[in-house]
Structure 1
Amino acid sequence: MNRIKDIVIIDIPTINEVRGNLAILEKDTVPFEFKRVYYLYDVPSDAFRGGHAHKEQSELLIALSGSFEVVLDDGFETRRIMLNKPNKGLFVPTMMWRELDNFSSGAVCLVLASDTFDEADYIRDYDEFKLFKST
């Protein structure tokens, strides 16, 4: 089972030049083959997203613009991480409860997912998640 200690911030290769910066996401950058890309935007500052865990899916979260915080919980330990740089990605492995909050104005969260959407992969009840982790 994945634990908080398995959480890593990935440096995204970037080409910096006077015309602007270019960040590159390729198969060598992301620790899994991604099959779905989506993004969150216009999230009110007092709202939160997430509130679930995935049984099989891994994700990479990137703050393309602005900032937000990610609260990760492995069922035993919790960690809060601020994302605010488009050249840093937060790798969230399987079976990790996540909540995203404190979105700044104009924040955009890009998510690369290891699989397509499958409702059966979600655990949306925290008590069920805790039971699943304890077995």
Structure 2
Amino acid sequence: MRAVNERAGYAAHWVHSIVRIATLSHKPGGVSRQRALELTVVARRHSVMTAPHHLDRTLLPQLPKNCRIHDLAVRGDARGSLIALESGKELSFNVARIYYIFGNRPGVERGFHAHEDLTQWAICVSGSCVMRVDDGTISTDVTLDRPDLAIEIGSLIWREMHDFSADAVLLVLASAPYDPTDYIRDYDTFMAKVQG
């Protein structure tokens, strides 16, 4: 009976996730076109005994340069699940700062800045939110609604977070300590920098 229970604990289960995408093209006169798509990404999570699932990259939205989606390996058994991240393995940088955003009031939007020289990973470990990433040419909305889905955001990417669920906890891993001089908080200044 124990062997049967262990096998049941290792059984893969299905997770359905909606990724909402809005791709914008910027021109000096403003947004020239908007294209909205909705895709269903069906991710099959495997136990520690099998190879981790990787998302079909052909289903992912077009992302700005310096941004990547990471499908994180979930390990677990009948007791629950675990995700581990290590610098030099999953992470391409040494983590210098960790923070998390939670308890957001309904309708609150956050972010509205870029960084001169910083790499971050954002993971919604509970609940969901929408992360808008923009390199001045492509602006894409990515719904973060799984603890095994991360978005990597590099330097000179404008980011905005919105549509937080009541239980959302957004975890962010950063490659450098907090530095107020690294922030670009005005969108026009950001656009001038990336177009210059």
| Pairwise TM-score range, normalised by the shorter structure | over 0.9
User: Which residue of 2 is the match for residue 92 of structure 1?
Assistant: 153
Pair 1:31-2:92 in alignment: yes
Distance 2:110 2:74 in 1: 28
Provide structure 1 residue ranges, at least 5 long, that are not aligned to the other structure. none
Distance 1:59 1:7 in 2: 10
Provide structure 2 residue ranges, at least 5 long, that are not aligned to the other structure. 1-62
Identity among equivalent positions (%) equals 35
Asked if structure 1 preserves the Cα contact closer than 8 Å seen for 2:135 and 2:156, the reply is yes
Residues 88-134 of structure 1 deviation map (CA, whole Å, 9 limit, x = unaligned)? 11000110000000001110000000100000100000000001111
Give, as a single letter, the amino acid of the residue that structure 1 aligns with 2:140. Answer: R
Higher relative contact order (CA 8 A, sep 6+): 1
Asked if structure 2 preserves the Cα contact closer than 8 Å seen for 1:35 and 1:115, the reply is yes
TM-score, normalised to structure 1's length?
Answer: 0.94
User: Which residue of 2 is the match for residue 20 of structure 1?
Assistant: 80
2:70 match: secondary structure? strand
User: Which residue of 1 is the match for residue 165 of structure 2?
Assistant: 104
1:31 match: secondary structure? coil
2:86 match: secondary structure? coil
Residues 123-134 of structure 1 aligned to structure 2 (within 5 Å)? 123-134=184-195
User: Which residue of 2 is the match for residue 46 of structure 1?
Assistant: 107
Aligned length: 133
2:181 match: secondary structure? helix
**Structure 1 stretches of at least 4 aligned residues deviating more than 3 Å after TM superposition:** none
TM-score, normalised to structure 2's length?
Answer: 0.66
User: Which residue of 2 is the match for residue 74 of structure 1?
Assistant: 135
Asked if structure 2 preserves the Cα contact closer than 8 Å seen for 1:74 and 1:97, the reply is yes
1:129 match: secondary structure? helix
